[in-house]
Amino acid sequence: MMRGGVIRRSARACGRGVVLAATAVAGLPLFVVSLVCVVLLPTGIGVLLAPESLLAVRRLASSQRRQAREWSGVTIVSPYRPRPAAITSGLRGQLRYCRWVLADPATWRDLLWMLAGGPVGLVLGLAPAVLTLIGLWALGSDLGTLLFGWWNAAPPTVGYQVLFLSMLPLGLAGLVAGPRLLTVHAQSASALLAPTRAQMAAQVGRLTESRSQVVDSSAAELRRIERDLHDGAQARLVSVGMSIGLAEQLVRNNPDLALTLLSEARASNGQALSELRALVRGIHPPVLAERGLDGAVRALAVSLPLPVDVQAGLPGRAPAPVESAAYFAVAEALANVVKHSGATRAWVQLDYEDGRLVAIVGDNGTGGADPAAGGGLRGVEQRLAAFDGVIAVTSPPGGPTLVTMELPCELSWART
Amino acid sequence: MRVVLGEDLTLLRDGLIRLFTAYDMDVVAVDNGPGLRDALLTQRPDVAVVDVRLPPTFTNEGLRAAIEARARIRDLPVLVLSQHVEPLYARELLATGTRGLGYLLKDRVSDVGRFIEAVRTVAGGGTAIDPEVVAQLLARHARDQQLGRLTAREREVLALMAEGLANAGIAARLFITEKAVSKHINNVFAKLDLHPADEGNRRVLAVLTYLNA
């Protein structure tokens, strides 16, 4: 049983080693291509090609990280900087995109590993399989010679016998050490593919910053709600009470004034209620609770002063906080359409793909929206960042504007 | 009677002015914040009615103005109104003396008769503390052994004393005779080891000091 396990494990290590060697060798042409792209950067062609080729390097490095984790239990954390929140199309967008890739030290460490990891992966990856094959071949020839006298008509010399026998331990070593060699490879990959201390520190800094932004904005939000209640509904209710109280006092001596006060009280009461409703909608729209993101966005679309086409293909419901963040993000994007775009039509598309909730808001307006200019979209960015979500805006002058938001999440299957 | 009003929300300001006018009180100055303290000092009103939260910072400017004005003019009658009451604010106000001091929830204005009575009490040098404040102070003493010795009726009397009511007022609220009220009050003072005090503010002070301790 145990022995069977060892042999199976060794055989698996041989197979994996071969895959690993192949992956490592694939890195070499990628290294060359990327280097050429980087050299071409000043010509402009590089600006278009370098990010793509370096991202291919990134994908290969990521698959090697995965191999290290799944095959050798060596966890290599992904070291990359987060994708900038708002990447626009056009030349400026491409330059920002390019800078994001090139400025990340992890890109260059990956590239170095493509070069260095090639021979390392080739040797360490193929070693288990090659050694085992040599051992098997030696064993086969030995047994064949001894039992059936295959080898030659003439019996093998003593020298050959010794040679074959000395190869047997090599084969055994290949079998036994196979998994160990893969681990050594994973550890050497970790030296270049894992984040450096400085990168870890930078990541901690980023997380701290985004966390404090979220904390700030939610504290500001609570303060706003308190203010709205204090100056709005609460004050109106006090005034309702005051009017009714005064009417009570005046009803005998001055019934006309009392009547006026009572109708004022009724009007004020109605306003208090509508203010409460508006406030509640701002905290968590009831229709979102009742109908989910799809229904809430449709309800929002109906209330806007321009036709909004909503297409939603969500197979389930996102967790409530994500749903709420997505709703307010879409609401803000649509509010911008109404306020700034001069559009006559808008559309919203909600989809779920690859574990991400994707919301796209588009319009046929004049474009030229600049997310960097601050304002509402900045708030949306912060709101989404709390859930590791991102927003991208493409808005060339003359339009159209497309706002794409992505939120990683799990969907729960349709609740009713 | 001359009134200075410190309230920034138009709706409530207008309502209060109408209310005071209906009861023959003269609103001599209205300030929604920054100039309130000066208005209090220069106008020296018979009573000031002041919202805790006022511009420019919407924190507790009204309260600060009231406290500062009372530090300059001893026992300047001020009735502080708020949409929520904090025993802490009550304590800060009481530290300026109990004479001519009121601290009430804004909700109380809907009971117009009683509200006007409270304004007059404060103007006359009396005290009007919101039942909500008193209830919170009493709740803090929930496990107090000495308070535990009071009967239910005595606790009611204690609460009304803390609000600033005189014997006649307490008697009217509880539908009992003034004689019965004095008897309960004597019991309360004895059970709480307080020096028996005469009617009025020394008594309120004694009770509030006990509860605030």
Task: Report the Cα–Cα distance between both ends of chain A, in Å, rounded.
Answer: 51
Q: How far is CA B177 from CA A386, B79, B127, B163, B168, in A?
A: 65, 29, 22, 19, 8
Is the CB of residue B55 less than 8 Å away from at least one CB of chain A? no
Tokens of residue A311, six digits = 């297409």
Residue A402 phi, psi (nearest 5): -125, 125
pLDDT score at B70: 95
Of A234, A240, A246, the CB nearest to B112: A246
Please tell me whether the peptide bond between B56 and the residue prior to it is cis, using omega within 30 degrees of 0: yes
Cβ separation of B19 and A250 shorter than 8 Å? no
Strand partners, B80: B50, B103
Tokens of residue A339, six digits = 């306020």
pLDDT score at A216: 75
Work out the minimum CA distance from A257 to partner chain B, whole angstroms. 11
Collect all residues with Cβ–Cβ distance below 8 Å to A79 and sequence separation of at least 6: A106, A109, A193, A194, A195, A196, A199
Helix spans in A83-196 (H): 90-103, 105-143, 158-193
What's the sign of the alpha-carbon dihedral B19, B22, B25, B29? positive
Work out the minimum CA distance from B150 to partner chain A, whole angstroms. 35
Q: Which of A394, A307, A371 is nearest to A343 (CA)?
A: A307
Cβ separation of B109 and A244 shorter than 8 Å? no
- How many residue pairs from chains A and B have C-beta atoms closer than 8 A? 49
| Residues A210, A212, A218: CA angle, nearest 5 degrees | 105
Work out the minimum CA distance from A348 to partner chain B, whole angstroms. 40
Which residue does chain B place closest to A231, by CA atoms? Answer: B9
Tell me whether strands A346-353 and B101-105 are parallel, antiparallel or unpaired: unpaired
Can you say how many angstroms the Cα of residue A174 is from the centroid of all Cα atoms in its chain?
A: 40
Which residue does chain B place closest to A234, by CA atoms? Answer: B83
Q: How far is residue A294's CA from residue A222's CA, in Å, rounded to a whole number? A: 26
Residue A368 phi, psi (nearest 5): 75, 15
pLDDT score at A359: 95
Adjacency order of strands within the sheet including B26-30: B26-30, B2-6, B47-51, B78-82, B101-105, B127-129
Set of chain B residues whose Cβ sits within 8 Å of the Cβ of A245: 109-113, 115
Set of chain A residues whose Cβ sits within 8 Å of the Cβ of B107: 238, 241
Question: How many CB atoms sit inside 10 A of residue A361's CB?
Answer: 25
pLDDT score at A145: 67
Of B83, B109, B112, the CB nearest to A234: B83
Set of chain A residues whose Cβ sits within 8 Å of the Cβ of B55: none
pTM above 0.80, yes or no: no
Is the CB of residue B21 less than 8 Å away from at least one CB of chain A? no
pLDDT score at A416: 43
Q: Which residues 74-93 of B are in CB contact (within 8 Å) with A? A: 83
Can you say how many angstroms the Cα of residue A72 is from the centroid of all Cα atoms in its chain?
A: 25
Residues of A with CB under 8 A from a CB of B: 227, 230-231, 234-236, 238-246, 248-250, 268
Of B53, B58, B107, the CB nearest to A241: B107
The phi-psi region of residue A130 (left if phi > 0; otherwise alpha if psi is between -120 and 50; otherwise beta) is: alpha
For residue B179, pLDDT over 80 is answered with yes
Work out the minimum CA distance from B104 to partner chain A, whole angstroms. 13
Cβ separation of A244 and B110 shorter than 8 Å? yes
Please tell me whether the peptide bond between A400 and the residue prior to it is cis, using omega within 30 degrees of 0: yes
Q: How far is CA A129 from CA A66, A68, A174, A179, in A?
A: 21, 18, 7, 11
For residue B171, pLDDT over 90 is answered with yes
Residue A227 CB-half CA count within 13 A:
11
Tell me whether strands B2-6 and B47-51 are parallel, antiparallel or unpaired: parallel
Kindly tell me the number of DSSP H helices and DSSP E strands found in chain B.
11, 6
Residue of A140 and B47 predicted with greater confidence: B47
Q: Map tokens 């929520």 to a residue.
A: B84
Work out the minimum CA distance from B83 to partner chain A, whole angstroms. 7
CB contact at 8 A, A164 and A141: yes
Work out the minimum CA distance from A213 to partner chain B, whole angstroms. 23
Burial of A9 (0-12, 13-18, 19+ CB in 10 A): middle
pLDDT in tens, B121-156: 999 999 999 998 898 888 888 777 888 888 999 999
Cβ separation of B83 and A268 shorter than 8 Å? no
In the three-class reduction of DSSP (H, G, I as helix; E, B as strand; rest coil), residue A95 is classed as: helix
Q: What is the mean pLDDT of residues B166-174?
A: 92
Q: How far is residue A97's CA from residue A84's CA, in Å, rounded to a whole number? A: 8
pLDDT in tens, B154-167: 999 999 999 989 89
Q: How far is residue B179's CA from residue A394's CA, in Å, rounded to a whole number? A: 83
pLDDT score at A1: 43
Cβ separation of A230 and B106 shorter than 8 Å? no
pLDDT score at A372: 65
pLDDT one digit per residue (tens) for chain A, 416 residues: 445 677 777 778 888 888 888 888 888 888 888 888 888 888 877 777 888 888 888 888 888 888 888 888 888 877 777 776 555 667 777 777 788 888 888 888 888 888 888 888 888 888 888 888 887 777 777 676 666 665 555 555 667 667 777 777 777 777 777 778 888 888 888 887 888 888 788 878 877 877 777 777 777 778 878 888 888 888 899 999 999 999 999 999 999 999 999 999 998 888 888 888 888 888 888 888 888 899 889 888 887 888 899 999 888 888 888 888 899 899 989 988 888 888 899 999 999 988 899 999 999 988 887 766 656 777 788 778 878 888 888 888 887 889 999 998 888 765 44
Kindly tell me the number of DSSP H helices and DSSP E strands found in chain A.
11, 7
CB contact at 8 A, A125 and A17: yes
Q: Map tokens 């071969």 to a residue.
A: A18
pLDDT score at A415: 45
Is the CB of residue B59 less than 8 Å away from at least one CB of chain A? no
Set of chain A residues whose Cβ sits within 8 Å of the Cβ of B15: 239, 242-243, 246
Collect all residues with Cβ–Cβ distance below 8 Å to A190 and sequence separation of at least 6: A68, A74, A76
ipTM: 0.76
Lowest mean pLDDT among A142-146, A199-203, B23-27, B204-208: A142-146
Set of chain B residues whose Cβ sits within 8 Å of the Cβ of A226: none
Buried residues in A192-218 as b, exposed as e (16+ CB within 10 A): bbbbeeebeeebeeeeeebeebeeebe
CB contact at 8 A, B116 and B47: no
Secondary element (H or E) of residue B89: helix B87-94
Cβ separation of B112 and A236 shorter than 8 Å? no
DSSP per-residue codes, A304-338: SSS-EEEEE--SEE--HHHHHHHHHHHHHHHHHII
